[in-house]
Structure 1
Amino acid sequence: MDGGAEPLKPIPDIGRGPRHVAIIMDGNGRWATQRGRPRLFGHHAGARRVREIVEACPDLGVKYLTIFAFSTENWKRTQVEVAGLMNLFRRYITKEARALREAGVRVRFIGDRVRLDAKLVAMMDELENLTCENDLVHLTIALNYGGRDEVARATKRLAQDVANGRLDPASVNEETLPRYLDTCVLPDPDLVIRTSGEARISNFLLWQSAYAEYEFIDTLWPDFTRQEFASLVESYSNRERRFGAVPA
């Protein structure tokens, strides 16, 4: 990845910063429309922004970054836009694979792969294998992902284990289901950011974000900079997370 950008100053108390940041990357289409360009122009600009934010993570103490690339609801968009997005994902993997590996980034994909093109799925598998030994930043890309769909799929797997005698139903509690989620190897997000001025979570990491801090900002995703990312991370470090308790 391009190392030309000036390193960011770490947040003052990096121990209090978010270890896992999740981002709903919204506003690509509006960004393009404002410039009189087709929506796909905005998606390409948004893909380039991902590189900058991934590069910023180590300096900010962010170990895990999860981005919402394509939801289970996005199939409702026009055929032209969906086809263009799928092509963009293939191009992103081809273009960034080597740079991600050399930068120490481990890539994972979450979501239901059944509906995705076989060639794209093969490329996703290859990128995961290529970067599987990296540990500097863990980049998780949510592709054909929906929180409700994830919970439904996890519940089916859990029920199957119960039916096959591998799991005692009496032992099932809130610690059990996360082991069946797509994110089972990841910590829950500490901070969820949504760009573009919309104040909703759009079916993203519903279970995992139960106690996450949220930031809804007006910036459209292609305009979201390293500096704004750093500001949000620093703001998080000043919050007191109590998880339902009261201050000591």
Structure 2
Amino acid sequence: MKLPTTGKPHDELLAEMRAQQRDDADWHSGKIWSLVYFAGDDVAEVLKEAYTTFFYTNGLSVAAFKSLRKFESEVIAMTAELLGSSEAVGNMTSGGTESILMAIKTARDMARDQRPGLTEPEMVLPVTAHPAFEKGAHYFGVKPVHIPVRDDFRADVEAAKAAITDNTVLIVGSALCYPYGTIDPIPELAALAQERGIGCHVDACVGGFILPFLARLGYKLPAWDFSVPGVTSISADLHKYGYA
């Protein structure tokens, strides 16, 4: 296929693009979980207007676009409070996968700084962890050491303890995990990490903007956020149940 030598009127182009949607999944009906998170037409209108208002701004230069710095700082501060800390810092990424990649890279880099002789870093993670961890392991040269889950589909803490070596730089838990929607035993995993002076990342890409509100509604939930000693990083997706 070659680049056309002439363009098309925008009405014709948009009509052609919309026609291609006929075979797409019907996300508006809300029946394609994990691909589109639709909160209703009213929220969608706000999202579209906000997006088009800042369509040409560039997040690479918050010196030029000070509004973006303000928005990001406020969203991070509010999210940190939801996740159990008024002091946590962070940044916005392109999505959950990049957030997980950054957690792995940070844990690896910190371990290298603290242990100059470290040449073969490893991370311990349950078999239910998101595939993004495998991608991060490949990108950053961190060996994934998989542990099984128990009969309740939560990470096996004893297996995690046995899997830790002098090369371990990170222990991973999920809240919630994709395959089963369970919350791993984060306090126990974080305690193992804290005891060895290594990072503990909680993948809350699904649960990050659900679990805090369930707790406020009175549901009894396992501890999983920054209020747990030893938890060093959390990923949470605004574009999922943050509906943004």
Larger radius of gyration: 2
TM-score if structure 1 supplies the norm length? 0.28
Q: Larger % of helix: which?
A: 1
Of structures 1 and 2, the one scoring higher in RCO (CA 8 A, sep 6+) is: 1
